[in-house]
Amino acid sequence: MGKPNGFLQYRRKADTVRPIRKRIQDHQEIHVPLKEEDRRQQAARCMNCGVPYCQSAITLERMTTGCPLYNLIPEWNDAIYRGIDAHGLKRLLRMNPFPEFTGRVCPALCEKACINGIDGEPVTIQNNEFYLIEYGYANGLMEPQIPAVRSGKKVAVVGSGPSGLAAADRLNKRGHSVTVFERDREIGGLLMFGIPNMKLDKSIVLRRKKLMEEEGVEFKTDTAIGTDLSLEELKQEYDAVILACGAKKARIPDLEGIETTEGILQAVTFLRMFLDGSTVAEGKDVVILGGGDTGNDCLASCIRQKASSVTQIEMMPKPPEERQPNNPWPQWPKVLKTDYGQLEAIEYYGKDPRLFAKTITALHSEDGVLKEVEIADVTFENGSLQVSEQRETIPCSLLIIAAGFTGCETELPSSVGIALTPRNTIETKQGSYATNVEGIFTAGDMHRGQSLVVWAIREGMQCAKEADRWLMGYTNLL
């Protein structure tokens, strides 16, 4: 513990953000790191608890707090405070292969479990993590770690999102020859095509790709397994195959005309168009169905495209602004979160764009083109959704559906007889990543269902460990 009274001496001070009116004029990352002195003070706030909940993912009331990667958080916070950043970086990378991703897009489960959070001021763990990895890149510490000996085993990883990259990284450093297949034009999955640059600039993904290539990982983009090359052929050519294709089957609302009405886009499609430079939302009255992180990213993207208005429909009731007695620390705080896109909307449009406890009940169009949506209040009674009979209409010339996903695309695993669950994820035994087809493993959203980047990384690492044990008869991977 670097400074025993640091948590008493210093108040929480997170990274600053660029002024809203300036940042909505471009697509650059919105956060501005603190000065070095401030960063060390923030690291000094870490209490080095006897039981550091921050680094141990625990599930309470069906929600998880604490880091799924078991990051050695008190250790590298102490290193930052003492000014030994290179050592801190080593301890960070010991458990987290991609802190440049989690330091930007993770909802910071670690901070929700920080004991300083009891009074609402947890340690700025995510910002500290971001500081260390960027320090490493800026000072030439992120050098290729090339295995001294190769095992002679070949592994194919299908999918290059965070889980596929994590599995590839671990198996390559173990000494296996790893090839990552990606059907898209570039690697990254949702890191590349589903998260806007304001949160994660794409140069960050490409920077990591370059490092992994220097370490020996081969990437084959524009290669669709199941079309350009069958999974059976892949299985014959490689000693092990890992499927990490994500959960890309979008949830489609049961609304008449949803498939045929012009002016409706899935959130990932919309975000990809935005990343490609499209301004499809310009001058439109936009309605976003979904109040989660993806919906918020769509909201921020609409503002930068100068949409006439944006309304975000959230089915759940508005959460309280402060913790309630029945939601004590260290449970996940069930409180209102006003994210960067919503803050921008409040500034730009003059009001909070969110409508809570509502859903869309009908689409109104003219000549097949969307004009309005009909909405109604909803309540949950005994776990059942109840929709009010009263309706109202709001203008809508672009509807963006950010309602989540219903599992993986099933054609590829089904082609070789891989078993699926009723949730359209790949079936494995509890705690295992091996499919029912010998030599084929799975990880990430394809295995777990739609989840967070940090969980995808964890899945990829654990899948790599199991695949390595299967290949070698033992494993020394974490």
Residue where a domain terminates, one of 346, 376, 401: 401
Report the C-alpha gap between 434 and 466 in whole angstroms.
Answer: 8
* Spatial separation of the C-alpha atoms in residues 337 and 352, rounded to whole Å: 12
Mean of the pLDDT values across residues 19-31?
97
Which amino acid, residue 201?
D
Phi, psi angles (nearest 5°) of residue 99? -65, -15
Q: How far is CA 403 from CA 93, 266, 378, 421, 450, in A?
A: 34, 9, 16, 21, 11
| CA dihedral of 282, 283, 288, 291, whole degrees rounded to 10 | 80
**Between 383 and 423, the higher pLDDT residue:** 423
Query: Does residue 316 share a domain with residue 418?
Result: no
- Does residue 255 lie in a domain region? no
CATH number of residue 43's parent domain: 1.10.1060.10
**Rounded (5°) CA angle 229-183-192:** 160
**H or E, element range at 379:** strand 369-381
Average of per-residue pLDDT across 232-236? 97
Any domain includes 436: yes
DSSP-assigned letters across all residues of 287-323: EEE--SHHHHHHHHHHHHTT-SEEEEEESSPPPPSS-
CA distance 395 to 311: 10
- Cα separation, 417 vs 411, in Å, equals 10
Residue 361 in any domain: the answer is yes
Max Cα distance, the chain (Å)? 69
Segment 449-460, tens digit of pLDDT: 999 999 999 999
Q: Is residue 62 part of a domain?
A: yes
What number is the average pLDDT over the span 80-94? Answer: 98
* Domain assignment present for 300: yes
* Pair of tokens at residue 36: 């070095």
Residues 313 and 356 in one domain: yes
Q: What angle do CA 114, 119, 122 make, to 5 degrees?
A: 30
Report, as an integer, the average pLDDT of 83-95.
Answer: 98
Last residue of a domain, one of 350, 368, 401: 401
Please give the share of the chain, as a percent, with pLDDT higher than 90.
Answer: 97
Given a cut of 90, is residue 120 above it in pLDDT? no
Residues 51 and 73 grouped into a single domain: yes
Give the pLDDT confidence of 238-285 residue by residue, as tens digits. Answer: 999 999 999 999 999 999 999 999 999 999 999 999 999 999 999 999
Residues 389, 313, single domain; the answer is: yes
285 CB-side CA count, 13 A: 9
pLDDT confidence of 3, banded at 50, 70, 90? confident
Q: For the chain, what is the domain count?
A: 3
41 falls within a domain: yes
- What is the C-alpha to C-alpha distance for residues 242 and 168, in angstroms, rounded to an integer? 9
Q: What is the dihedral of CA 312, 317, 323, 324, to 10 degrees?
A: 170
Q: Quick one: pLDDT at residue 1?
A: 65
Considering the domain architecture, whether residues 270 and 364 belong to the same structural domain is answered as yes
Q: Residues 365, 340: one domain?
A: yes
Burial class (CB in 10 A: 0-12, 13-18, 19+), 60: middle
Q: Show Cβ contacts of residue 289 under 8 Å, excluding neighbours closer than 6 positions.
A: 253, 295, 313, 360, 399, 400, 401, 402, 403
Residue 279 lies in a domain: yes
Looking at the structure, tell me whether residues 358 and 449 fall in a common domain. Answer: no
Whether the pLDDT of residue 119 is over 90: the answer is: no
Is it the case that residue 222 has pLDDT exceeding 80? yes
Residues forming a β-bridge with 267: none
pLDDT score at 322: 93
Residue 12 reports pLDDT greater than 90: yes
Going 263 to 264 to 267 to 269, the CA torsion angle's sign is negative
Nearest Cα neighbor of 115 from 33, 195, 1, 36 is: 1
The pLDDT of residue 383 is 81
DSSP 8-state secondary structure symbol assigned to residue 117: G
Same domain, 243 and 317: no
Shared domain check, 335 and 221: no
Euclidean distance between CA atoms 309 and 38, whole angstroms: 38
Evaluate whether 396 touches 286 at the Cβ level (below 8 Å): yes
Burial 249-276 (b: 16+ CB within 10 A, else e): eeeeeebeeeeebebbbbbbbbbbbbbe
H-only helix segments in 113-154: 125-138
- Domain assignment of residue 290, yes or no: yes
Q: Once rounded to an integer, what is the mean pLDDT over residues 445-452?
A: 96
Residue 382: its pLDDT value, please?
Answer: 84
Indicate the pairing of strand 240-243 with strand 440-442: parallel
Residues 123 and 159 in one domain: no
Closest CA to 74 of 103, 137, 116: 116
Same domain, 15 and 125: yes
Q: Over the stretch 158-187, which tens digit does the pLDDT of each residue have? A: 999 999 999 999 999 999 999 999 999 999
Domain extent at residue 178: 154-248+406-472
**Average of per-residue pLDDT across 436-463:** 98
Last residue of a domain, one of 378, 401, 424: 401
Phi, psi of 84 (to 5 degrees): -110, 70
- Residues 120 and 41 both lie in one domain: yes
* Domain containing residue 185: CATH number: 3.50.50.60
